Amino acid sequence: MLRDPATYASSLVGLPKAQKDLTKAEVGHNLKIISDFLEIMLVDGFSGKDQKSLATVSKNVKPELLKFVMEETHKAHTDVGVSLTVKTYVAHFDRTPHVVSIPTSELMKFSNILLQHESKLRISEDDPVAELCRRIGPWEKALIEQIERPENDKVHNFVMKSRFLLSEAGMTICGSSDCPVPPRMSATASLSDKNMVIKTYVADSQHRLLESLLQEVGSLEAANFHELKLELDAMVAEMMNKTPPPYTLIHNITEGLKSVKEMINNETDLSDTLQSMADTVANRSKHRTYLELLKEGLASIQEAQLQHAKDLKQAEWELCQAISASMSLSLPKTLKEVAQKEGIELKLVEASRHVQRIQEFGRTELTGCSFSPEK
């Protein structure tokens, strides 16, 4: 992106102001210098006495930059997953039909692609998409080229079943696509997973005791488990001489010492243990970010739910008005006055007179009949 600012900092990507800045010579020069630095930094290419200061800066910048990239990448992935889940629920409160329009030629190509990669896309023995593609069969290249002509390529409109929970048994997050789908369309879902929409975090309790202990005692100087045991023993002895002794902390350290002794007996590597603890903390942080994003999305779902309730009331009122008007076919007084002034005979006027003459069903509310707008 830094190498090609004309493409990635232009009106083509919605950055018209940045495009104006590119006309300044110093901006282009600075972007080139930064690009050169980042490329050399990634391969640890700074060498020589004249680049000693750059090598020092690189050692400090590289870990932080990589950490930032990893965090942003995970956040973007989490955002997409949560957004899909939230929008799927919001769609169920939207009574407006959603239509996707696709040309015939594109459908034929898409069908061929699905058929060609059936073994990779199949989620089960009775995969409905695979079965449908087999029944359709492959499309010949010559036929596709013929259909691609403007006079032959028709557009097909598909009404999407965005409110599938009204007819499906439930919803789950597919382990393969990471998308919210009905359980029957998931490659990894079982019958018990039909309502597994929110991801749960399973805590790794293997080093939880040691992790909690390290948080309580603060910084330590031990470089291995043997030194850690000696340092914790000395810490307990020192605490016992205090008045009064902090018995709760002493108890926690004693329990932690049991875990340390077990690791010594099992010849557990300290670096592996610390890495495992770091991974556990990172996973908890990721799940916390996921839950925070999900909490924000719940507000959108609740808003859509309230709007849906209002829309239903409005639809019910309009239907009541329509039924009431249909029983007499009478027109508003203002409309009839304007028509009379313009010398126009409205069609419903005669129909309304006819209804008044025959008084069909007494033109009252029909007993036993009910109505309900689409829910």
pLDDT tens digit string along 165-194?
888 878 888 777 778 888 887 776 655 555
145 or 345, which is more confident? 145
- Backbone φ and ψ for 24, nearest 5 degrees, come out as -80, 130
* pLDDT of 51 over the 70 cut: yes
Give strand pairing partners of 187.
none
Pull the structure tokens for residue 349: 């006027």
Indicate the range of 78-87, 203-212, 248-257, 342-351 predicted with least confidence: 203-212
Q: Measuring CA to CA, how many Å separate 143 from each of 1, 29, 151, 218, 362? A: 41, 53, 14, 73, 63
Amino acid letter at 94? D
Question: For residue 351, is pLDDT > 90?
Answer: no
Given a cut of 60, is residue 101 above it in pLDDT?
Answer: yes
Averaged pLDDT, 308-334: 87
DSSP state at residue 330: P
Q: Is the pLDDT of residue 368 over 60?
A: no
pLDDT, mean of residues 82-100: 90
pLDDT, tens only, 282-314: 888 888 888 888 888 899 999 999 999 999 999
The band of 75, judged by pLDDT with boundaries at 50, 70 and 90, is: low
φ, ψ for residue 31 (rounded to 5)? -65, -40
pTM given for the model: 0.57
**Cβ pair 143, 89 in contact under 8 A:** no
Q: What is the pLDDT of residue 147?
A: 94
pLDDT of residue 93: 93
pLDDT tens for 4-43 read: 877 777 777 777 777 777 777 888 888 888 888 888 887 7
Q: What pLDDT band is residue 153 in, cutting at 50, 70 and 90?
A: very high
Within 10 angstroms of residue 95's Cβ, the number of other Cβ atoms is 13
Q: Which helix (H) or strand (E) holds 80?
A: helix 52-91
The predicted structure's pLDDT at residue 149: 93
The structure tokens listed for 69 are 């990239």
Mean pLDDT of 256-263: 82
Residue 38 confidence (pLDDT): 83
CA dist., res. 172 & res. 180, Å (int): 5
pLDDT band of 77, cuts 50, 70, 90: low
Most confident of 36-50, 281-295, 342-356: 281-295
Predicted confidence band of residue 143 (pLDDT cuts 50, 70, 90): very high
Buried b (16+ CB within 10 A) or exposed e, 329-368: bbbeeeeeeeeeeeeeeeeebeebeebeeeeeeeeeeeee
State whether residue 155 is helix, strand or coil.
strand
Would the pLDDT of 361 be above 50? no
Query: Of 226, 223, 249, which Cα lies nearest the Cα of 238?
Result: 249
Does 362 have pLDDT greater than 50? no
Q: Can you point out the beta strands (E) in 80-222?
A: 99-103, 155-159, 172-173, 180-181
CA distance linking residue 228 with residue 217, whole number of Å: 12
Q: Which of 281, 283, 285, 289 is nearest to 212 (CA)?
A: 281
Confidence of residue 366 (pLDDT cuts 50, 70, 90): very low
Mean pLDDT of the region 116-131: 82
Quickly state the pLDDT bin for 102 (edges 50, 70, 90): very high
